[in-house]
Amino acid sequence: MQAAPRAAPAPPPVSARDREVEPKIWTTAPDTDACTQYLKQDAPEFSQFDSQPACEEWVQKRRCRPGMRCSDGCNGIACDGTGMHTLSTLVACELGIGIRSIEFREKSVKLPESLDLEQASRLLERALRFPKRKLKLIGVALPSEGASPVAVKQLARKRAEAVARALVLRGADRRRFVIEVLDASTLGMEGYRIGRVFLQLDPSERQPEEYDASYPDYENLCWIKYPSKGQP
C-alpha cells in the first residue's frame, strides 16, 4: 500500500516585529471615503499612497468609491480601483410592448389582418402605469405613395391614427399617445421600402419611481443604497 504524500510544511509565523517593518500604504476601505493605513500585502486593490494627505487628496478628486456596488434596476453598477471610472454591465434595458413597428400595404391605412394586438395591449397597459410615460406612434409613408409631400404626410398620419384607434378599442387611453410623422427620406436605409408605424415608449426605460419595496433587489438600487446622491 502506497504511503500518503506528506503535507507541505506550514510557513513560519510572522512575528509582530517583522510585521512592524513590512511596507505600509494608505488607501480607503471598500465603499468608504475614509483613508486607512494598511500593510501593503493586506490592502484592498485600490489606488495606494505613501501618506494620508496624498490619500485624502485622491478621495477629493475621485468620481466614485472603489468597492461600491449597486443596481440601476437593470444593470449592475460598480467603481474601478482608481475611483475615476464607473463600470456597468451592458444588458439592454429598453421597455417595449412586443411590437416595434406595423407594416402597411402600399397606399393603405388598413391594419394587417394577421396583426394581433392583444398581447401588445396588455404590455402597454403595464407600461403606462407610470403616469409620465407616453406611447409614440410614428407614421411613415413613402414618397411614391402620395401625389405630393403633403399627401404623403397625411397618409403617414392616418396610419398612426389607425393604430391608435385599434389600441383604444382594446382599452388604451388615447390621451397617452403622441402622433408623429417621419419623413421616409431621412431614414437612409434600404430596408424601409414599406410604409409603417413605429411604436415607441417614452421614456423607454424603467424609471426610479416605478420601483417599490416589493422589488426583489430593492435595497441594492443605487438611489436607495446611496440616497444622498442618488448614485454611488
**Residue 69, pLDDT score:** 95
**Residue 230, pLDDT score:** 47
Q: Where in the chain do CATH 3.30.1330.60 domains reside?
A: 101-204
Q: Which residues of the chain have pLDDT under 50?
A: 1, 230-231
Whole-number Å distance between alpha carbons of 124 and 117: 10
Q: Residue with C-alpha cell 487628496?
A: 57
**Residue 214, pLDDT score:** 92
8 Å CB contact between 121 and 171: yes
**Residue 195, pLDDT score:** 92
Residue type, 145: E
pLDDT tens by residue, 145-162: 999 999 999 999 999 999
Q: Containing H/E element for 27?
A: strand 24-28
- Residue 75 phi/psi, 5° resolution? -115, 150
- Return the CATH number of the domain spanning residue range 101-204: 3.30.1330.60
In this structure, the number of other CB atoms found within 10 A of the CB of residue 158 comes to 15
Q: Which three cell numbers stand for residue 19?
A: 510585521
8 Å CB contact between 163 and 190: no
